[in-house]
Structure 1
Amino acid sequence: MPIHATTLLLLTCSALSGFVGQAIGLPLPFLLGPLAISALIATALPERLPSGYRFPQKLRLMFIAIIGLMIGAQVTPALFTEAHHYALTFGAVTLFVVLAHTMGYTIFRHLGGYDPTTAFYASTPGGLYESIEMGEAAGADVTRLMMQQFLRIIVVVTALPLGLSLWLGAPVGSSAGMTMARPDVPWSDLPLIVLAGLGGLGLGHLLRLPAGQMTGPMALAAALSLSGWLSFDIPQWLVNMAQIVLGTALGMRFTGLSRGLLLRGTALALAAVGSMLALGVVLAVTLHEMTGEAVDVLLITLAPGGVTEMALVALSLQANPAFVTIHHIYRIVLTVLTLGVITRLRQRKG
């Protein structure tokens, strides 16, 4: 089957799974539904995919940019009214990164039996692509490293919305009816949205921003919003489509992995992410006492998941996704900088 036809068929199946997820009240249905169906295809039916098939990266980047624009438009002067709490919240993120990495390393090294290099880079609570790149250069087992890093995000993206839905007694994510998108955006706005997305992608690449495919468009939209020159209204159908594409791309990462390796990796990911989320709960409760911010919002702010996905979860809690995203960007930057320093020290010792 031609590559483009395969991609179209995958996205069709993913879209249908998203509507099914919405009908049964699944949190983030247009993200988790496609993730589940594409992961099932990648692991159970890999022989039905074209040889060497990879989900188109350019398509994924374009839709990540759409989410970035939507989040950046929420950056208004009101966001900075909570700036007096940032020293505490950023301090908590710093502590979280150090302790979460230590716990993850312990689990992968001693429970999983991974070699020290693989365990070190597989347990980072952020900087997915940087961790894989640096780990490969350092001699880590790339297959296990990639698997654990992608599983970290997938487990958080899946477990956190489900857990919050059970705790709050109502679904979170787009199934809760909360959204930054508008249903009545005219089609004439679409070219402007596309141009802004492309401009944001270029900005992220030029400035080498962390998670630049999202933070570049987010920075552009935030600058335009704060200046008052222009604001972005993203149509709901485009937001749903972006989640379908992102969920499918995540699920297809499992292509080629043996079921035994995947099951073992999933068990280790559940242990590592479970310990990280438990740490996040402790820090969130502590911060709640100090700042008065809601525990669930603080937990999302600390969770070691994808920036885009955590911002979407924040919508259901009526929290400003820009507040959540700023802290996740800091987590990624801190993790990558720490990785860079430690990698150089390891190279000197070697």
Structure 2
Amino acid sequence: MTATYLYNFQRLVIHNKPWILTPPIGALGGYLAQWMNWPLPWMIGALVGVALYRCLGHSTQAIPQGVKVGQWIIATGIGLHFNQQVMIEILAYFDVILLGTLVALSTSIVGIFIHRHYGEDLATAYFASMPGGANEMVNLGRLNGADLARIAAGQSLRMVLVLLIVPASYTWLFGDAHGSNLIHYPVNFAWLALLLFLGALVGQRFQHWQVPNAWQLGALLVSITVSVTFDLHIGLPTGAGEFGQWLVGSTLGCYFDRAFFRRAPAFMLRMSIATLSIMVLSIPIALMLGWMSNLDMRTLMLGMMPGGIAEMSLTAEALQLLVPLVTAMQVLRLLIVLFMAQPIFRQWYRYRESRK
């Protein structure tokens, strides 16, 4: 009788709150990843844990507003790496940052040609290969007659491949990425409260204006502006960054289930090959730019990876690389893609039509 009541109670709770199992599964994955010394354990572990649970045939959904809160916290912490001296250095190397970003973006043509070679239409191949946010590329694909399911699947796969491969590869090649040697800045709760409050206001306003990654970009903008203006040298309290990673990782894991991997397997294989090719191509580009500018090649390469702002910046933080440089390159790449992807596509499309 007790077992029956418990079973019915569980069914009722899961029915009313289909996300209820996501937090503990993500937390278990994060804990195990930390125990196994994975890089970015609370993000990658939570992602893998939730994705495996869903691939086993169980149903669970993303934590409501979880990714927004996670991005809000993480972006605030990333912005605190900026100060007046760092900003002077970033501006001094802006030409290198812009060149590296543009060259890295140009490697996306590899994915476009791979997909086109195997018969994919131009719009789908193009927007699936652009290293922008999944939602934004799906929206642009919708305006240009692309296959939206393939764009969403391709963008999600690219993001997760970069997240799973890059931190682990950097840890193996360049050293410890578990934070044991990190510089711990003092915590100032008054400043943090102000930053989080203003970041939430700007993030909400950006969301109202339909700005992509509104909460991440809003919090990042506020944190950088205030930190540079007042030359702050503070950090997040212990555990805050991990909490944000857990929320984001648990949400990312909900993108994947059996149906995801069964959907167009040949397309997914091509997407994987294209993503790996772009990552490999970033190595000689970073070497060349590092030789030209005397900037750290590892930092430049991380800034050119087709991943997310938060994930690549957190990897730089764990390895004590120049987080603001990585963040600047990632943000610049995102802005270029958002504002230039559609105009370039339409020019390309008109050019192809005129040649027929």
Same-fold call, TM cutoff 0.5: yes
Separation (CA, whole Å) in 2 of partners of 1:267 and 1:64 = 29
Equivalences for 1:24-103 in 2 at 5 Å? 24-45=36-57, 48-49=58-59, 54-56=61-63, 58-79=65-86, 80-98=88-106, 100-103=107-110
Residue in structure 2 matching 1:106, options 95, 98, 113: 113
Q: Aligned pair 1:123/2:125, yes or no? A: no
Matched residue SS, 1:35: helix
Question: Structure 1 residues 187, 12: closer, same or farther in 2, change over 3 A?
Answer: farther
Residue in structure 1 matching 2:173, options 153, 164, 167: 167
Question: Structure 1 residues 267, 177: closer, same or farther in 2, change over 3 A?
Answer: farther
Q: Aligned pair 1:299/2:301, yes or no? A: yes
Matched residue SS, 1:150: helix
Contact 1:10 1:248 (8 Å CA) reproduced = yes
- 1:309 maps to amino acid: E
User: Could you tell me which residue of structure 1 aligns to residue 4 of structure 2?
Assistant: none
- 1:154 maps to amino acid: V
- 1:68 maps to amino acid: A
Q: Aligned pair 1:177/2:188, yes or no? A: no
User: Could you tell me which residue of structure 1 aligns to residue 284 of structure 2?
Assistant: 282
Report the structure number with the largest CA radius of gyration. 2
Question: Structure 1 residues 314, 178: closer, same or farther in 2, change over 3 A?
Answer: farther
Q: Aligned pair 1:157/2:163, yes or no? A: yes
Matched residue SS, 2:65: helix
Shift of 1:336: 1.8
Separation (CA, whole Å) in 2 of partners of 1:21 and 1:294 = 29
- 1:71 maps to amino acid: I
Q: Deviations over 1:202-235 (max 9, x none)?
A: 3534676553321211111122222228776322
- 2:102 maps to amino acid: T
User: Could you tell me which residue of structure 2 aligns to residue 195 of structure 1?
Assistant: 197
Q: Aligned pair 1:139/2:145, yes or no? A: yes
Question: Structure 1 residues 242, 92: closer, same or farther in 2, change over 3 A?
Answer: same
Equivalences for 1:166-315 in 2 at 5 Å? 166-168=172-174, 170-172=175-177, 175-177=178-180, 185=187, 192=194, 194-205=196-207, 210-228=212-230, 233-255=235-257, 257-261=259-263, 263-315=265-317
Q: Aligned pair 1:342/2:344, yes or no? A: yes
User: Could you tell me which residue of structure 2 aligns to residue 329 of structure 1?
Assistant: 331
Question: Structure 1 residues 261, 166: closer, same or farther in 2, change over 3 A?
Answer: same
Contact 1:132 1:145 (8 Å CA) reproduced = yes
Contact 1:302 1:328 (8 Å CA) reproduced = yes
Question: Structure 1 residues 65, 181: closer, same or farther in 2, change over 3 A?
Answer: farther
Name structure 2 gaps, 5 residues minimum: 1-10
Contact 2:199 2:220 (8 Å CA) reproduced = no
Q: Deviations over 1:292-350 (max 9, x none)?
A: 12221111010010110000000123123222111111111111222221355448969
Residue in structure 1 matching 2:32, options 7, 20, 33: 20
Contact 1:200 1:218 (8 Å CA) reproduced = no
Shift of 1:187: 7.8
Contact 2:299 2:325 (8 Å CA) reproduced = no
Separation (CA, whole Å) in 1 of partners of 2:31 and 2:215 = 27
Separation (CA, whole Å) in 2 of partners of 1:273 and 1:340 = 21
Between the aligned residues of both structures, percent identity stands at: 22
Question: Structure 1 residues 132, 329: closer, same or farther in 2, change over 3 A?
Answer: same
Question: Structure 1 residues 176, 108: closer, same or farther in 2, change over 3 A?
Answer: farther
Separation (CA, whole Å) in 2 of partners of 1:234 and 1:125 = 29
Question: Structure 1 residues 324, 219: closer, same or farther in 2, change over 3 A?
Answer: same
Shift of 1:3: 6.0
Separation (CA, whole Å) in 2 of partners of 1:290 and 1:339 = 28
Separation (CA, whole Å) in 1 of partners of 2:323 and 2:29 = 26
Shift of 1:25: 1.2
What is the number of equivalent residue pairs in this alignment? 339
Shift of 1:262: 6.6
Contact 2:42 2:249 (8 Å CA) reproduced = yes
Q: Over aligned residue pairs, what C-alpha RMSD do you find? A: 2.8
- 2:296 maps to amino acid: A
Shift of 1:259: 3.4
Shift of 1:241: 1.2
Separation (CA, whole Å) in 2 of partners of 1:252 and 1:231 = 36
